[in-house]
Structure 1
Amino acid sequence: MFNALYFRTFITLVETGSFTQTARRLEMTQPGVSQHVRKLERYLDKPLLERHGRRFTLTEAGRRAYDYALKLFAEHEQFRHSLDADSTYSGDCRLASPGSLGVMLYPFLLGQQQMYPGLTVSYSFAFNQEITQDVLAGRYDLGIVTEPMRHPDLEVVPWHREPLCLVVPADFAGTGLSELMGIGFISYFDGLSHASALLRGNFPQEFRSMSHFRRQGFTNEVGMVLDAVARGLGFTVVSRPVLETSPWQRQVKALELPVAVHESHYCVTRAGSEMPRRYVRLLEDFREQRRQALHGYGDPQEIPPPRG
């Protein structure tokens, strides 16, 4: 007989790699975990594990069963969350964004959860490709990405944008491209593309390529890149939320530039799905807050709200 509990136990076992840790996490006994796996194998009529003492590896059937179980529970969660789509101030919020926006959006959502206890927030910091894959798989209801993409099963709409900031050490006295070349560039995942866009827009006669700048380092965590700048190791280009939330903002400064260049954000949902009202409200409230905060920094262009 089909039993979803057996699949849940199997998922946990695969993720922990240990019968003991699975039992502890699920508050079961270790023999109980083994019994669930045996019953699932009996139900599927296939061995799912190759046991090597206390260790195990998945059989081909085990790998397929694990993939199926993930999809099964993702679809279950999506269905469960869809039942409270009309609620504005309650329900689960499952979303993901790159860190450049998440450093500000996630604390905003936690504040909303404090105001409205009926809300719960599950937030992931991820890169664009991971986000779109997880929205497709149903692990998130909403993804926010910095690059538009086309996929027949996804709906991607413009939502918001934030100014890019050219950030240098606090004692940096230069103003031109040659001085920036002198101190070098600190990069991160989107660093090169952001720097190219901002420098090309403000130094059109001089700027050629980021390849002309000495590379002073790289980090895959955008929230940490200003640590290197604060230490005087180089300059970088980040979106405004990264600068505003950085613990090193007093040790760095943003150079004033004549041309505003922005990082754009797009909402990603599964095609044909209606965005629950709570998401629409949260997105609009956050954008209004940022619109007011960014007055004087080149306000975000007016973008229609997501469909709800």
Structure 2
Amino acid sequence: MNNSHWLRSFAALVETGGFTRAASRLGLTQAAVSQHVRHLENELGPLLIRRPRQIELTPAGMALLDYCNEIELADKRLKLRLSDANSRSGDISLITPGSVGLALYPLLLGLQQSHPGLVIRHRFAPDPETRDAVLSKQYELGLVTLKPDDSRLVATSFIEEPLELVVPAGAAVAGWEDLVRLGFIDHPDGQAMSTRLLARHFPGNPGIRNVPCHGFSNQIALILEPVARGLGFTVIPRHARQAFAQADAIRVIEGGELVVDTLWLIRRAEWPLSARAAWVLEQLRKMLPFNQRRGGQRREVA
């Protein structure tokens, strides 16, 4: 588009009302200001009606002045965004696994209600999609279950998420045979999570593949629905269980060592963490329980 020096000269000319005053404001000669305006008029057509001691804008001149004002406002917004002068307003973009997302999203909305200047963008996604979204700059922050080995990303431990064996509220579970009788409600990570956790609850078990599958859901908020209806059991992260509305219809089976996943916060390595993102993360850490343990039991961090 047009040279920024030409645009500044034109805006100063309109604001001061004369070439001499515009030149004085900008620290230029009157001839330089006149030359800048001529360059603009060569590209855009007549911009000014020159009268003795007065200038008047043509329709093209008025359009260009609006454009100059828009550029000035955009420049101010850019400087404000880059300076992080206000850490309580602006865009917060976070992409996470579904389970912890169920816990984080209401907290983010609460922050937005308290600070209406914030704009929350949150997406549920598996690890590969999360890494790609952060690398492609679609999201500033992401949470993944596996620490990435990628020099383009910075990964820091954010929260620990225990796995839980969840059964219908009225189900009696004393041994492996009871799980076989109940049947398994599967989900995209169900086989892997169940294999890890059930090895602690029922050492030497023949494996989750030997348990009848009574259902499958890829929607994290719906996985416990069939469990609540007595159709089977599942193994799921604690945050997903805590977000389930029908708490009275399900029960967590305690016992064995904890199996805990560490969730890793990732961002682009070359980007400094914005003051806004740092503040939001600080608030989330205050509101979320971390490093959860149960009654002195040992835990396995996966």
Q: Shorter chain as normaliser: what TM range?
A: 0.5 to 0.7
CA contact (8 A) 1:97 1:124 kept: yes
Residue in structure 2 matched with residue 161 of structure 1 by the alignment: 160
In structure 2, relative to structure 1, the CA distance for the partners of 1:179 and 1:89 (3 Å cut) is same
Query: Following the alignment from structure 2 to structure 1, what is the Cα–Cα distance between the partners of residues 129 and 165?
Result: 27
Matches within 5 A, 1:167-186: 167-186=166-185
Structure 1, 216-225 or 102-111: larger mean CA deviation: 216-225
2:148 — aligned with what? 149
1:177 to 1:294, Cα distance in 2 relative to 1, 3 A: same
Please report how far the alpha carbon of residue 81 of structure 1 lies from its aligned counterpart in structure 2 after TM superposition.
9.3
| Change in CA separation of 1:250 and 1:154 when aligned onto 2, cut-off 3 Å | same
**Residue 247 of structure 1 pairs with residue 245 of structure 2:** yes
Q: Which residue of 2 aligns with 1:122?
A: 121
Q: Do the aligned partners of residues 152 and 236 (structure 1) sit closer, same or farther apart at CA in structure 2, a change above 3 Å counting?
A: same
Using a 3 Å threshold, how does the CA distance of structure 1 residues 290 and 131 change in structure 2: closer, same or farther?
same
1:114 Cα deviation (Å)?
0.9
1:279 counterpart = 2:261:
no
Q: Any idea what the Cα deviations from partners look like across 1:240-260, whole Å, max 9, x if unmatched?
A: 111111122221111122322
Q: Is the 8 A contact 1:189 1:222 kept in 2?
A: no
Q: Secondary structure at the match of 2:288?
A: helix
Q: CA separation in 2, counterparts of 1:270 and 1:163?
A: 27
Q: What do the CA deviations read for 1:110-169 (whole angstroms, capped 9, x no partner)? A: 001111122111111111111111111110000111122212322222211122111001
What residue is the counterpart of 1:73 in the other structure? none
1:197 is matched by which residue type in structure 2? R
Query: Do 1:163 and 1:260's aligned partners in 2 also have CA atoms closer than 8 Å?
Result: yes
Is this contact kept in 1: 2:160–2:291, CA < 8 A?
no
Structure 1 portions without partners, runs of 5+: 3-78, 302-308
Measured after TM superposition, the shift of residue 94 of structure 1 is: 0.7
From the superposition, tell whether residues 295 and 181 of structure 1 become closer, same or farther in structure 2 (CA, over 3 Å): same
Determine the C-alpha separation between the residues in 2 that align with 1:190 and 1:96.
Answer: 18
Does residue 1:222 correspond to 2:231, yes or no? no
Shift of 1:195: 1.3
Does the aligned pair in 2 maintain the 1:103–1:241 contact within 8 Å? yes
Question: Match for 2:158: what amino acid?
Answer: W
The CA distance in 2 between the partners of 1:289 and 1:295, in whole Å, is 17
Shift of 1:82: 5.9
Shift of 1:294: 5.1
TM-score, normalising length from structure 1? Answer: 0.66
Distance 2:248 2:274 in 1: 39
Letter in 2 for 1:193: A
Q: Under a length normalisation based on structure 2, what TM-score does the superposition of the two structures give? A: 0.67
- Per mean C-alpha deviation after superposition, the further-off stretch among 272-281 and 130-139 is 272-281
Counterpart residue number, 1:66: none
Decide which of 233, 255, 258 is 2:256's aligned counterpart.
Answer: 258
Mapped to 2, the partners of 1:201 and 1:138 lie a distance apart of 40
Tell me the equivalent position of 1:101. 100
For the residue of structure 1 that corresponds to 2:123, the secondary structure is strand
For the 8 Å contact 1:85–1:275, the answer to whether it is kept is: no
The one-letter amino acid of 2:230's match is: G
Cα shift at 1:208: 4.2
- Which amino acid counterpart does residue 281 of structure 2 have in structure 1? L
- Per-residue CA deviation, residues 164-207 of structure 1 (Å, 9 max, x unaligned), is 11100111012222211221111112222211121112323x23
| Structure 2: gaps spanning 5 or more residues | 3-77
Secondary structure at the aligned position of 1:152 is classed as: coil
Question: SS of 2:258's equivalent?
Answer: coil
Post-superposition shift, 1:292?
7.4
In the alignment, is the contact (CA less than 8 A) between 1:228 and 1:234 conserved in 2? yes
2: CA distance between counterparts of 1:227 and 1:138? Answer: 35
2 CA distance for matches of 1:86 and 1:155?
A: 24
Q: Equivalents in 2 of 1:267, 1:222: separation in Å?
A: 20
- Contact kept? 1:84, 1:91, Cα under 8 Å: no
Contact 2:163 2:237 in 1 (8 A): yes
Q: C-alpha separation between the residues in 1 aligned to 2:79 and 2:130?
A: 21
Q: CA RMSD in A?
A: 2.8
The number of residues matched between the two structures is: 225
Cα 1:84–1:141 change in 2 (3 A) is: farther
Say whether the 8 Å CA contact 2:96–2:142 is kept in structure 1: yes
1:246-304 CA-partner distances (Å, limit 9, x unpaired): 122221111122322123211111122111233233223323322279575779x9xxx
Q: Return the offset for 1:84.
A: 4.8
Q: Computing the radius of gyration over CA atoms, which structure comes out larger, 1 or 2?
A: 2
Determine helix, strand or coil for the equivalent of 1:171. coil
What are the superposed Cα offsets for residues 50-76 of structure 1, whole Å, 9 maximum, x if unpaired?
Answer: xxxxxxxxxxxxxxxxxxxxxxxxxxx
